[in-house]
Amino acid sequence: MQAVDPQISQKHPIIRQLDEGAINRIAAGEVVERPASAVKELVENAIDAGATRVEVAIADGGKTLIRVTDDGCGISAEQLPLALSRHATSKIDGTDLLDIHTFGFRGEALPSLGAVGRLSITSRVKGGEGHSISVSGGQITPVKPAALGGGTIVELRDLFYATPARLKFMRSDRAENQAIIDVVKRLAMAEPFVGFTLRDVTGGGEGRVSFRADAESGDLFDALHGRLARILGAEFAENALRIDAERDGLRLIGYAALPTYSRGSAVAQYLFVNGRPVKDKLLVGALRGAYFDFLSRDRHPAAALFIDCDPQMVDVNVHPAKSEVRFRDPGMARGLIVSALRHALAEAGHRASTTVAGATLGAMRPEVMPGRVYQMDRPSLGARQASYAFQAPPEGAPGLAEQPAAWDGAPGASLMETPVSGRVVEPEVEEADYPLGAARGQVHENYIIAQTATGMVIVDQHAAHERLVYERLKRQMAENGVAAQALLIPEIVELSNGDCARLLAVSDELTKFGLTIEAFGGGAIAVRETPAILGEVNAKAMILDILDELDDQGESMLVQAKIEAILSRVACHGSIRSGRRMRADEMNALLREMEATPHSGQCNHGRPTYVELKLADIERLFGRT
């Protein structure tokens, strides 16, 4: 039995026009979700106004105060009332909703904020006088003169006071503060030539600076690199690869981190379309696909990527929050991201992140010694040679080469073949000739020690060779294709019509990996062939898993993942095992192949295959500075 709603008359329902205040409060529910949404709208307006410096002040997580000050073009006195009207904007003229070059264009933010809070705008155009206007709960006051040097100050107090029910859904001040910081950081990445300052003025006074990023200088890539270093940290900047690719009117620029600089969650992924921060499943899936073969499932890449294109190629008028976009050709955008990132990762070759060496040095660092340790300067090459000649045994005395092969502590025994410390290799190549240097020894039958021109390299022989074998198997599979085995009796899988259509739409991609399907009438499909390398498979379970991935991510890499997992296991079993002693030529051959093979800096699961320690860092460990 349907309950009677006391808000609706039991008579025939009447259609009525809502008043302006109710309309604005409804719109505010879409545009202003939380204080961070208000900050986003106001800062975007400041950037659209041509500001080179934006300062944001907040109190109590933005619930009691949000003040945005900029040095933009300002708003004239006669335009101030219009700025508070719904669907009034200077960004577009309404003739073409696809030709959008600014952050804002709907004309909804200011009237929505004025409908749910106490909003005041003080502005001054160049060569004019300053004026202000205010609105509280939808009630606008007349324009009046105000003192201001230039630009605009927008102040929003008591957010959601007109809709107190919304306040119950606000999170803690700390959580709202963090959301605001995240919004400002994303906009700061999009505009590296604009200076940003965020202050928390809770309790009054000047408050404390929560975030600050001064305007960068130089060309676009230099400015972007500097801004990312300030926001994401110097470690990201050191381990990020420069991305610059273009295809069919789409340009992708930005920085993506090495696989060995991965994160435990997707918190360091920032995507922008025409300068607008977006959270788009298509782009996130493309980023994940680009690193698919280099990271385990529980690790996530770090990247800041910017897609620039003609506004006609992308629709940003999808959602009032403008955080979603729709490309005219989604496949082209995804393909550009995947190909550009994979190309950059391949060009990185054997490079591993510097954080690996930093973690190693941190683990090795001894206790701090009291006082300062004074050391003699490192002797010159000539001085070392003279010293070695002086220390050499006289002619006729037995040399190291004539001493016993094993050392048991007795006089005359050799230190060069000590079984405990490892195998020492006579140098056969000059370390300065190669990035990974020349092998000098092997310890614990698993780690190769190589000397480079500037330090030393420690290589995990099993992990390194596993990656090399894996890359070789992948190349062979790419050249020869994936072998498929035909099922004696095709397996019929019953699906809904929608699921069947989505699956058949990606059938060509599945065929490349040895899974052949075809329509079988109605909502059923027939599985004709499966990848031979997988052996006996449950075709129905695989089909359902593929559909789940299509629903969740818009694409499916399940079959490819299963095949490459098999190749990875084959590579693991076919690689040099831990505990095997290697000759000098074998170790140097492994180093040379690592230098020539892309992605050899990490194993099949994203872990580093080698650690490089600079001589200066090693000397600091021993206090030789």
Listed range (107-116, 416-425, 480-489, 531-540) with the worst mean pLDDT = 416-425
pLDDT of 421: 44
| 105 vs 489: which has the higher pLDDT | 489
pLDDT band at residue 32, thresholds of 50, 70 and 90?
confident
Nearest to 158 by CA among 38, 259, 52, 254: 38
Are both 107 and 178 inside the same structural domain? yes
User: Which residues touch 623 (CB under 8 Å, ≥6 apart)?
Assistant: 369, 373, 375
Query: Are 197 and 239 in the same domain?
Result: no
The pLDDT value given to residue 272:
92
pLDDT at 415 over 50: no
Of 302, 317, 348, which closes a domain?
348
Q: Is residue 138 part of a domain?
A: yes
Is residue 388 in some structural domain? no
User: 514 vs 70, which has greater pLDDT?
Assistant: 70
pLDDT for res 248: 85
Q: Is residue 254 part of a domain?
A: yes
Identify the pLDDT of residue 303. Answer: 92
Per-residue pLDDT tens for 164-215?
A: 777 778 888 899 999 999 999 999 999 999 999 999 999 888 889 999 999 9
- Amino acid type, 525: I
Kindly list the distances between the CA atom of residue 314 and the CA atoms of 99, 271, 332, in Å, as whole numbers in the listed order.
9, 15, 12
Structure confidence at residue 64 (pLDDT): 92
Q: In this structure, are residues 326 and 318 in contact, taking their beta carbons and an 8 Å threshold?
A: yes
Pairing of strands 65-70, 118-124: unpaired
User: What would the pLDDT profile of 310-358 be if each residue is shown by its tens digit?
Assistant: 888 887 766 666 677 788 888 888 889 988 998 888 887 666 555 555 5
Range of the domain at 34: 20-93+100-211
Mean pLDDT of the chain: 78
Q: Among 211, 239, 274, which residue terminates a domain?
A: 211
- Measure CA of the first residue to CA of the last residue in the chain; give whole Å: 85
Whether the CB-CB separation of 136 and 121 falls below 8 Å is answered with no
Sheet-wide strand order for 269-273: 240-247, 250-257, 303-308, 269-273, 276-278
**Is pLDDT larger for residue 7 or for residue 580?**
580
| Residue 367 covered by a domain | no
Q: What is the pLDDT of residue 374?
A: 43
309, pLDDT greater than 70:
yes
What is the average pLDDT across 246-264?
A: 87
The pLDDT value given to residue 476: 74
- Banded model confidence at residue 96, pLDDT cuts 50, 70, 90: low
Instruction: Report the alpha-carbon distance of residue 501 to residue 497 in Å, rounded.
Output: 6
* 401 found inside a domain: no
327 and 447 co-located in one domain? no
What count of other Cβ atoms lies within 10 Å of the Cβ of residue 390? Answer: 7
pLDDT surpassing 50 at residue 589: yes
Alpha helices in 455-538 (DSSP H): 461-480, 497-505, 507-512
442 falls in which pLDDT band (50, 70, 90)? confident
Mean pLDDT of 269-284: 87
pLDDT of 92 strictly over 90:
no
* Selected residue with higher pLDDT from 383 and 537: 537
Whether residue 194 is found in the same domain as residue 247: no
The verdict on 460 and 541 lying in the same domain is yes
- 66, pLDDT greater than 80: yes
Q: State residue 486's pLDDT score.
A: 87
3-class state of residue 568 by DSSP: helix
Distances (CA, A) of 563 to 87, 259, 308, 532: 53, 21, 35, 9
Q: Tell me: pLDDT of 488 over 80.
A: yes
567 domain residue, yes or no = yes
Average pLDDT in the 5-10 region?
A: 56
Do 498 and 458 fall into the same domain? yes
CA gap 537, 557 in Å, rounded: 16
Looking at beta carbons, which pairs linking 287-292 to residues 24 or more positions away fall under 8 Å? 287/337, 287/341, 288/553, 289/334, 289/338, 289/555, 289/557, 290/256, 290/337, 290/338, 290/340, 290/341, 290/342, 290/345, 291/259, 291/262, 291/341, 291/345, 292/557, 292/560, 292/561
Q: Within this chain, do residues 335 and 459 fall inside the same structural domain, yes or no?
A: no
Tell me the average pLDDT across 440-452.
87
pLDDT of residue 420: 41
What mean pLDDT do residues 531-542 have? 78
pLDDT at residue 401, rounded to an integer: 39
Out of 164-173, 366-375, 406-415, least confident range: 406-415
Residue 54's pLDDT is 94
Q: Residue 558's pLDDT band (boundaries 50, 70, 90)?
A: low
- Both 185 and 248 in one domain: the answer is no
- Residue 145 and residue 35 in one domain: yes
Q: Is there a contact between 298 and 264 (Cβ–Cβ < 8 Å)?
A: yes
Cα angle: 32, vertex 109, 21; to 5 degrees: 85
The whole-number average pLDDT for the span 411-415 is 38
- Can you give the pLDDT at residue 91? 59
Question: Which pLDDT value is given to residue 137?
Answer: 75
Which pairing describes strands 131-136 and 65-70: parallel, antiparallel, or unpaired?
Answer: unpaired
Q: What is the mean pLDDT of residues 87-92?
A: 62
Whether 11 has a pLDDT exceeding 70, the answer reads no
Lowest mean pLDDT among 52-61, 285-294, 418-427: 418-427
Beta strands 195-200 and 53-59, pairing class: parallel
Asked whether 507 and 518 are in contact (CB, 8 A), the reply is yes
CATH, residue 257: 3.30.230.10
Specify the pLDDT at position 417: 39
Specify the number of domains making up the chain.
Answer: 3
What CATH number is given to the structural domain containing 543?
Answer: 3.30.1540.20
Residue 182, in any domain of the structure? yes
Query: Which two tokens mark 587?
Result: 């170790």
Look up tokens 């690199």; give the residue. 225
Tell whether the model's pLDDT for residue 400 goes beyond 50: no
360-369 pLDDT per residue, tens? 555 555 544 4
Whether the predicted pLDDT of 393 surpasses 80:
no
The contacts of residue 605 (CB under 8 Å, 6+ apart) are: 295, 296
If DSSP codes are grouped into helix, strand and coil, which group holds residue 517? strand
Instruction: Kindly indicate the confidence band of residue 81, based on its pLDDT and cuts at 50, 70 and 90.
Output: confident
225 compared with 30, residue with greater pLDDT: 225
Q: What b/e sequence results for 16-44 when a residue is b if at least 16 CB atoms lie within 10 Å of its CB, and e otherwise? A: eeeeeeebbbebbeebbbbbbbbbbbbbb
Asked if residues 533 and 570 have their Cβ atoms less than 8 Å apart, the reply is no
